Amino acid sequence: MSLLVDIEASQQIDHYRIDAHVAESGMASIYRATDLRNGQQVALKVPHAAMEADPNLFDRFRREEEIGAALDHPNVMRTFPTPDRSRVYMVMEWVPGRLLRRILAEEGRLPQERAIAIALKILDALEYIHAHGVVHRDLKPENIMVDEHDQVKLIDFGIASKEGSRRLTYTGFSQALGTPDYISPEQVKGKRGDQRSDIYATGVILYEMLSGRTPFSGPSPLAVMNDRLINHPLPPREANPEISPQLQEVLYRALERDPRNRYASAREFARDLRNPEQVGVADRVELIDWRKRRSGRGRKALYYAGLALLPFLLFALMLLLAHRR
């Protein structure tokens, strides 16, 4: 089978009519289409031609289709089996709504109640896929669709792993790891990542929904990833004082650098989000470290301010001496 190129609206592929091009990724193009057999709207994911020449990427495309066909959950995008295809493509559930990334770009920081409600739906989906041996490994606002009622769908299982399946390799650094702002520390170190990596990414997403920013930053993707290996995140309550100490503790537990100290499951994470009054709050090392860094920055700022004022003080002293003469 050959790969599709230059697909246009109104073109027909088997029994699917292409209605519009809706998205583009490094591996494929996404189209909204209509199944002419029943009038149902679907999404067609068509791999780029370059994928045909890269067996690893093409295997990943097939793995994504296999994973999607095995999952059936209201918060996970479904993939429909299509045995008789004249060309290579994947048929997926059409999901109306907006990407969480677009919501954050348009609305900024979300109200706490709404952010937690969205996070709980993400965690519900994770509990399901993890129970079925699937780890998403690329959770980020770009891969979460939210409809007008704030119902959530996880999409794009392009670099997901499945228990018991052959391990796939990659040709690109970013494809192997995921997205710098949301990747777990263990993945930065080159490990494959497990369900706790998805927990970490969800913690970053919740932090971003609550504060309007991600917990780590830097001038380049490598700097962002390195930041999470050597520094603690900005305390959530510093980013948004409306965050309670209990909710801050929940975020810290999700963002633990060592996966052994992180929430072990989506269920544990969701339990604490639903019952913040049961979350104990300790004076964490992260907070002590932040207070020391802030105090150090304060002393440094005063030092440099003093240096900046020194010429003016000397000038004033010279004027005073001149007048006394």
144-146, strands of its sheet edge to edge: 98-99, 144-146, 152-154
Residues 6+ apart with CB under 8 A from 262: 196, 199, 200, 253, 254, 255, 256
Element at 118 (helix H, strand E): helix 112-131
Q: How far apart are the first and last CA of the chain?
A: 97
What are the CA-CA distances from residue 316 to residues 237, 240, 307, 311, 320 (Å)?
A: 43, 43, 15, 9, 6
**CB count in 10 Å sphere of residue 202:** 25
Q: Active site includes 272?
A: no
Half-sphere exposure in the Cβ direction for 217 (13 Å, CA)? 6
| Cβ atoms of residues 228 and 257 within 8 Å | yes
- Report angle CA 153, 157, 162 to the nearest 5 degrees: 120
In sequence order, which residues have a C-beta less than 8 Å from that of residue 301 and are 6 or more positions away?
Answer: none
The candidate with the shortest Cα–Cα distance to 132, out of 199, 197, 202, 71, is 71
Question: Phi and psi for 297 in degrees, rounded to 5?
Answer: -65, -35
Q: Which residues contact 84 (CB under 8 A, 6 or more apart)?
A: 14
Of 19, 54, 72, 138, which one is the catalytic site residue? Answer: 138
CA triplet 285, 291, 294: central angle to 5 degrees? 135
If one counts every other C-beta atom within 10 angstroms of the C-beta of residue 111, the result is: 12
The catalytic residue positions are 138
